[in-house]
Structure 1
């Protein structure tokens, strides 16, 4: 009888543990995360990022399944790191570009990569740029240089310092920039730039009162979802009439604080996000 009680107790504990680690929203590191199978609403740690990528600030998913591109931010080498689904570096792409403060990556439908050298902590930079490169010929980068149409002072007063940008995405031959509100940590402004080399004034097209500082952005392949990320939180927009006005769509915030200082976000497919954290790991999240 005692043996039967012990066996029954063992199975109860086992079932409870299985329920806990597979419930929606749980953080797991099982084989499902490595294979790309992600439960909706769950954050799965894929792997710790290698030491060379100690300040991952942007990420994109490449056409080759299970491969991603990321980079470090200010004070680091102007390198792009190609990593696999185990977060192992498979290629280091050394670019002949300045890394004043690289903050995000975007990719267009032709496979061109856009590097946002747009970090502007003190809101005093006048040499902001987005670099356009083709991975088949990285020796010929092109520069999209710009200023913000509504910035008149360098820097503005502390409460008006909303000209930092750590988040971009590409849509229909334009780059969309989302500001990081360092002044009041409240308003994410949205700017538009042509995705072609030249010197421009970034057009302010909208804003969203998001009450946090945005650190990354991405748009789904079907263009029906825009994801923004801040430290420990996802911001999901759907139901908009155009990606250019995504901020007018349906908004949902999702807590992912267990991922730490989250900086980069990208769509692996229409319902799966890839996330990186600074000094941390590579994650997958199912929408």
Structure 2
């Protein structure tokens, strides 16, 4: 579909005041609540977290200048799509897992096969009641992991068996991840540093990254055990200071950089999301040999997925939630009751 607006490329990238290098600015008016991002050699794939307006309920394909070149509709209405991941075989996974009111009986994971034109919905249930979540990771064999959005220790959940299109599969809690404390500047102070708002898996599967509104935390996955890496590993910290409502993160296809983009729905008029680039802490020398990631049987070749070209810059904002330990968790609960978790925008109820 033709974009409602297009990016203007050509500006040379330079570090922003917050540390990220602008890659390109998204000018399409449908994309102000970007919650999921993946990078391809031909551009980007993004999703909104808003299901309130029909034109926003799409999977958006962007070129390297952030211009929308194609969209795909969902066959049924999504509730709260919060993250996106690109599988080793080119499958696009979309986590329909947002649940700010913790009222959903099921959550959803949409799966778009390589070259496909219709995403399939797989429903999942938690074993211990509803959770809000905004982060999706993939295991070595291409299966989804959900990381919840809560202060202190975030839960890690995985399906107990193969997903069934249109069916419901129970999940199990595989562990929890506690992120180190930081002092990175963000609009919500310690609240913005406490909750996981996005995740990404490196192209070779040897690293994964979680992000908050303030920082990114990269874990090594030397043996393909993502859960083990999150529950027992020590992450490298990449500050993402003062990003506006930063919920998305992705690796470039070569694994050398991290890309982020923020929601701008509550920003001043005319503000548009900008994809920013940060150097990854390191690139393993064995990155191209003996990959830890084994793909599931592929139905098509992996798509050319992003070495992004430079363009203009954007602006900053953020949101937050819970504390890290003890009283901070209690404070977070109080804030949820006060309606601060959802920030200025109104979130959707779930399935």
Relative contact order higher in (CA < 8 Å, ≥ 6 apart) = 2
Q: CA deviation at 1:59?
A: 0.6
Between the aligned partners of 1:222 and 1:112, the Cα distance in structure 2 is: 15
Aligned to 1:188: 154
1:240–1:249 contact (8 Å) kept in structure 2: no
How is 1:70-89 mapped onto 2 (pairs within 5 angstroms)? 70-74=46-50, 75-76=52-53, 77-89=56-68
Q: CA deviation at 1:190?
A: 0.8
1:53 paired with 2:31, answer yes
How is 1:190-205 mapped onto 2 (pairs within 5 angstroms)? 190-193=156-159, 194=161, 196-197=163-164, 198-205=167-174
TM-score of the aligned structures, taking structure 2 as reference length: 0.62
Q: 2:214 aligns with which of 218, 232, 251?
A: 232
2:133–2:148 contact (8 Å) kept in structure 1: yes
Q: 1:67 aligns with which of 34, 43, 46?
A: 43
Alpha-carbon spacing, 1:107–1:149, altered in 2? closer, same or farther (3 Å): same
1:164 paired with 2:168, answer no
Aligned length: 237
Aligned to 2:262: 277
Q: 2:243 aligns with which of 259, 279, 287?
A: 259
- The Cα RMSD (Å) is 2.3
Aligned to 2:107: 128
Between the aligned partners of 1:273 and 1:208, the Cα distance in structure 2 is: 21
Long gaps (5+) in structure 1: 1-28, 155-162
Between the aligned partners of 1:237 and 1:146, the Cα distance in structure 2 is: 26
Between the aligned partners of 1:126 and 1:225, the Cα distance in structure 2 is: 32
Structure number with larger C-alpha Rg? 1
2:208–2:221 contact (8 Å) kept in structure 1: no
1:43 paired with 2:20, answer yes
1:142 paired with 2:142, answer no
1:168–1:217 contact (8 Å) kept in structure 2: yes
Q: 1:222 aligns with which of 201, 204, 211?
A: 204
Between the aligned partners of 2:221 and 2:209, the Cα distance in structure 1 is: 13
TM-score of the aligned structures, taking structure 1 as reference length: 0.76
2:124–2:169 contact (8 Å) kept in structure 1: yes
Alpha-carbon spacing, 1:71–1:176, altered in 2? closer, same or farther (3 Å): same
Between the aligned partners of 1:92 and 1:46, the Cα distance in structure 2 is: 21
Between the aligned partners of 1:213 and 1:240, the Cα distance in structure 2 is: 25
Once the two structures are superposed, what CA deviation does each residue of 1:193-250 show, in whole Å capped at 9, x if it has no partner?
2563242111111111236111111111122211111113111112654223221212
Aligned to 1:20: none
Q: 2:12 aligns with which of 27, 31, 42?
A: 31
Once the two structures are superposed, what CA deviation does each residue of 1:250-271 show, in whole Å capped at 9, x if it has no partner?
2133221233211111111222
- Structure number having the greater helix percentage: 1
